[in-house]
Amino acid sequence: MLLEPEAKLICVEYGIPVTKFKVAADEEEAVKLAGEIGYPVVLKIVSPEIIHKSDAGGVMVNLQNASDVSEAYRKILENVKKYDANAKIIGVLVQEMAPQSTETIVGAIKDPQFGQTMMFGLGGVFVELLKDVSFRIAPITADDAREMITQLKAYPLLKGFRNSPPADIDALVSVLLNTSRLVMENPEIKELDLNPVLVYQKGAKTVDARIILE
Ligand code: ADP
Ligand code: MG
Quote the ligand 1 centre to 213 CA distance (angstroms): 22
The candidate with the shortest Cα–Cα distance to 96, out of 213, 211, 205, is 205
pLDDT band at 200 (very low <50, low <70, confident <90, very high): very high
Instruction: Specify the long-range contacts of residues 168-171, CB closer than 8 Å, at least 24 apart.
Output: 168/199, 168/200, 168/201, 168/202, 168/203, 168/204, 171/17, 171/199, 171/200, 171/202, 171/203, 171/204
Do residues 41 and 35 make contact, with C-beta atoms less than 8 angstroms apart?
A: no
pLDDT digits (tens, 9 = 90+) for 20-41: 999 999 999 999 999 999 999 9
How much distance in Å is there from the Cα of 59 to the middle of ligand 1? 7
> What pLDDT, on a 0 to 100 scale, did the predictor assign at position 130?
78
Which of the two residues, 195 and 123, has the higher pLDDT score?
Answer: 195
Q: How far is the CA of 65 from the centre of ligand 2 (A)?
A: 24
**Cβ proximity of 93 and 69 under 8 Å:** no
Instruction: For residue 208, give the ligand 1 atom closest to its CA.
Output: 6
Q: Does the beta carbon of 210 lie inside 6 Å of ligand 1? A: no
With the C-alpha atoms ordered 81, 83, 88, 90, is the resulting torsion angle positive or negative? negative
What's the pLDDT band for 125 if we cut at 50, 70, 90? confident
The predicted structure's pLDDT at residue 161: 81
For 25, phi then psi, to 5°, come to: -95, -20
pLDDT tens for residues 82-105? 999 999 999 999 999 999 999 999
Q: What is the pLDDT of residues 147-188, one digit of tens each?
A: 999 999 999 999 988 877 899 999 999 999 999 999 999 999
Q: Is the CB of 207 under 6 A from ligand 1?
A: yes
Share of the chain above pLDDT 90, in %: 93
pLDDT value, residue 77: 97
